[in-house]
């Protein structure tokens, strides 16, 4: 039993390591960008891994209810912070039961257009599934992928790309 | 006995051609010594000249047509059209009987001459291709058409010359459909646009009220399939370029995207995304029957048929990351074919059948490349900050794609442009468009 658990941990670590290796380039660039920015703009701490953790682009559906969640490169897995945001959205939606929403899924510009359309759809659906597990009916939610067509930040750097990998909850009525 | 007679006959047929064809252009390698060719302006009599001037507002339509030919030949990278100032012989006399010594003197190896006439309100063009070294005529053809078609006559002449000298069909009498882009990067306005292969006759097909993406030509007609966000519902549409009629393809409860026609033009193959999963579907345009081709929880997209319609190449992340796969046209026998380092997308089967062009992302750079259909022989043609979506010329010798620029530290300076490159990796060129441009698709030859 103990051994099994250790193996699990090891595998997790190995998977993480793999991911780190795969993202080495991006992270290296991110580090460069961040250290370059650190002196001028103080934007350090706006990314964890390559997931955006800042609030520059975030708008609010209601007081304390952020409208968007962010993703790692090529990923549609919800981070701990994303799940917290979506729980707040679910609570707000339960309180305002007449509101319907569109989940707009987006990708950064570093992918092919067609794959990014699919990826945006997958990200918006990750958010939708989570809202549904917190009691929001699927007929109040529609999903719309924009792929890489509607970036919020026009920059060509890892921080800009991290802001653009997102699912935004938009009031539909 | 019969067999040897047949071979003898074959030799008899082939010999005269062989001896004539002294000039040959090899298009299988990068051509660093383009063939010097003299394009003598098509001669025109004064009466015809005046008539065409009235109809077309062109002072000398003969010279205009030969300029089209000249520009085409130059753009191909295989020919070097010589400066007209050095030509010694007048166009009308050259068309009757060239003085080959004169053309040899300016180092021309091939010569194009011709004549334009106004005949019963129509444009009659004859042209001849001459082998200067052998002192022989290689080809003589005449066309009659409505005057407004004069640019197409130039393209058809180029196709005939290209075919005679390279042994392969040309790609000049063709059009490109693409997405014209304007406005800031965060709020791009996109319209469908169409132009001749050389950038002439540019026309916008939509107004820009809704986002449009990825138009693709039907290889057998003037139909186009594309993605439109009309009413914020991203769906695959069909558009008839001649009539302007549009219709949505199929009745899907979600986003359909990445459309292409089958080689016979009778089906559309595309992706349908639902509940976070994109699979590949086909729809028969005659009986409207929809078939699901892939069934996998991964993203399956960017499908493209082989020219015989038997296979489909597509993009999937079922291995964890974007790679290229092929399968039978019914979805059976799925095989991964891309195994190099990096991510692979937008596979598109060559009209010749032997190669698949793709986009590759590796270490933060984007490449356009080709591989054989079993994934071997990968060759990267060009590297850039961002480029994708190759589309083949109908003869499978040139790829057109789009490139986006890196923005500066203020997020400004974004642009998207069309580029073309030969299969050899040589002759990379910016394709001029009146606005920014992306998602090009090359038509088949309009005439054969």
Q: Is the pLDDT of residue B287 over 60?
A: yes
Which CA distances in Å does B374 have to B4, B327, B356? Answer: 38, 11, 9
Helices (H) and strands (E) in chain A, counts: 5, 8
Apex A123 CA angle, B366 and B300, nearest 5:
60
To test the contact with chain A by mutation, choose from B275, B276, B316, B402 the residue with the greatest count of A C-beta atoms within 10 A, namely: B276
**How many CA within 13 A on the CB side of residue A133?**
8
**Segment B6-16, tens digit of pLDDT:** 443 433 343 33
* Integer Cα distance of B102 and B121 in angstroms: 36
| Contact (CB<8Å) A114/B346 | yes
Assigned fold of B175-442 = Neuraminidase (2.120.10)
Q: What is the rounded CA–CA span in Å between residue B294 and residue B310? A: 15
Interface predicted TM-score (ipTM) of this complex, two decimals: 0.92
Q: Where are the domains of chain B?
A: 33-166, 175-442
Question: Is B443 strand, coil or helix?
Answer: coil
What is the distance in angstroms between the Cα of A2 and the nearest Cα belonging to chain B? 30
| Rounded Cα–Cα distance for residues A139 and B117 (Å) | 69
Q: Which of B232, B273, B388 sits opposite A118 (nearest CB)?
A: B273
Q: Homologous superfamily of A48-171 in CATH?
A: OmpA-like domain (3.30.1330.60)
How confident is the model over B318-374, as pLDDT tens digits? 999 999 999 999 999 999 999 999 999 999 999 999 999 999 999 999 999 999 999
Show the tokens assigned to B367.
């490449």
The closest alpha carbon to A55, from A165, A163, A173, A168, belongs to A163
CATH number of B33-166: 3.40.50.10070
| pLDDT level of residue B27 (50, 70, 90 thresholds) | low
Shortest CB distance from A144 goes to which of B232, B299, B302?
B232
Over residues A28-57, mean pLDDT? 63
Dihedral of CA atoms B250, B252, B258, B264 in degrees, nearest 10, equals: -20
Positive or negative, the CA dihedral B352, B355, B360, B363 is negative
The answer to whether A65 contacts chain B (CB < 8 Å) is no
- Asked if A19 has any chain B CB less than 8 Å from its own CB, the reply is no
Q: Which of B391, B295, B310, B403 is nearest to B346 (CA)?
A: B391
Q: Note the pLDDT of residue B30.
A: 64
| Mean pLDDT across chain B | 93
How crowded is the C-beta side of A8, counted as CA atoms within 13 Å?
A: 5
Chain B CB contacts of A155 under 8 Å are: 407, 409, 411
Nearest CB to A109; choose among B184, B345, B386: B386
Cβ atoms of residues B309 and B266 within 8 Å: no
What are the boundaries of each domain within chain A? 48-171
Report if pTM > 0.90. no
Residues in B touching A157 (Cβ below 8 Å): 409
Model confidence over B88-129: pLDDT tens digits? 999 999 999 999 999 999 999 999 999 999 999 999 999 999
Q: Which pLDDT score is estimated for B26?
A: 73
Query: What is the structure's pLDDT at B11?
Result: 39
- Compare all CA atoms of chain B with the CA of A41 and give the residue at the minimum distance: B409
Q: Please say if the pLDDT value at position B250 is more than 70.
A: yes
The Cα angle at residue A92 between residues A86 and A98, in degrees rounded to 5: 120
Give the model's pLDDT for residue B285.
95
């Amino acid at each position: 039993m103990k051994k099994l658990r250790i193996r699990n941990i090891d595998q997790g670590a190995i998977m993480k390591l793999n991911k780190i290796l795969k993202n080495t380039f991006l992270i290296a660039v991110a580090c460069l960008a961040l250290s370059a920015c650190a002196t001028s703009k103080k934007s350090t701490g706006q990314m964890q891994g390559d997931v955006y953790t800042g609030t520059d682009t975030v708008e609010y559906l209601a007081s304390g209810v952020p409208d968007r969640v962010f993703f790692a490169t090529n990923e549609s897995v919800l981070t701990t912070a994303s799940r917290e945001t979506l729980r707040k959205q679910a609570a707000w939606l339960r309180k305002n039961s007449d509101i319907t929403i569109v989940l707009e899924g987006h990708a950064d510009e570093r992918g092919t257009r067609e794959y990014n359309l699919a990826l945006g759809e997958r990200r918006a659906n990750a958010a939708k599934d989570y809202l549904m597990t917190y009691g929001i009916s699927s007929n109040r939610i529609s999903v719309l992928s924009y792929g890489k067509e509607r970036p919020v930040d026009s920059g060509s750097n890892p921080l800009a790309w991290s802001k653009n990998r997102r699912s935004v909850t938009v009031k539909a009525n | 006995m019969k067999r040897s007679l047949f071979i003898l006959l074959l030799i008899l047929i082939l010999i005269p051609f062989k001896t004539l064809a002294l000039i040959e252009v090899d298009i299988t390698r990068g051509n660093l010594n383009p063939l010097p060719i003299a394009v003598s302006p098509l001669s025109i009599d004064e009466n015809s000249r005046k008539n065409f001037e009235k109809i077309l507002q062109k002072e000398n339509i003969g010279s205009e047509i030969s300029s089209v030919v000249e520009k085409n030949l130059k753009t191909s990278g295989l020919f070097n059209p010589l400066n007209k100032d050095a030509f010694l012989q007048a166009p009308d006399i050259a068309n009757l009987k060239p003085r080959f010594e004169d053309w040899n003197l300016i180092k021309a190896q091939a010569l194009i001459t011709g004549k334009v006439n106004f005949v019963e309100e129509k444009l009659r063009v004859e042209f001849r291709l001459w082998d200067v070294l052998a002192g022989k005529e290689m080809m003589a053809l005449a066309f009659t058409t409505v005057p407004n078609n004069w640019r197409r006559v130039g393209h058809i002449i180029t196709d005939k010359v290209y075919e005679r000298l390279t042994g392969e069909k040309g790609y000049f009498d063709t059009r490109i459909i693409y997405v014209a882009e304007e406005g800031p990067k965060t709020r791009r306005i996109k319209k469908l646009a169409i132009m001749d292969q050389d950038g002439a006759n540019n026309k916008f097909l939509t107004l820009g009220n809704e986002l449009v993406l990825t138009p693709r030509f039907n290889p057998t007609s003037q139909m186009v399939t594309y993605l439109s966000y009309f009413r914020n519902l991203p769906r695959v549409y069909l558009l008839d370029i001649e009539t302007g009629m549009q219709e949505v393809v199929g009745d899907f409860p979600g986003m359909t995207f990445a459309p292409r026609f089958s080689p016979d033009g009778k089906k559309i193959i595309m992706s349908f995304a639902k509940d976070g999963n994109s699979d590949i579907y086909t729809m028969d345009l005659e009986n409207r029957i929809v078939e699901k081709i892939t069934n996998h929880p991964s993203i399956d997209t960017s499908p493209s048929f082989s020219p015989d319609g038997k296979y489909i190449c597509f993009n999937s992340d079922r291995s964890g990351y974007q790679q290229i796969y092929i399968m039978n046209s019914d979805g059976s026998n799925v095989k991964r074919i891309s195994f190099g380092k990096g991510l692979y997308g937008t596979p598109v089967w060559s009209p010749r059948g032997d190669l698949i062009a793709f986009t590759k992302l590796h270490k933060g750079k984007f490449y356009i490349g080709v591989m054989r259909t079993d994934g071997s022989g990968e060759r990267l043609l060009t590297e850039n900050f961002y480029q994708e979506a190759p589309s083949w010329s109908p003869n499978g010798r040139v790829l057109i794609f789009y490139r986006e620029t890196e923005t500066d530290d203020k997020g400004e300076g974004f642009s998207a442009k069309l580029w073309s490159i030969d299969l050899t990796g040589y002759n990379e060129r910016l394709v001029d468009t009146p606005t920014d441009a992306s998602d090009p698709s090359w038509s088949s030859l309009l005439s054969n």
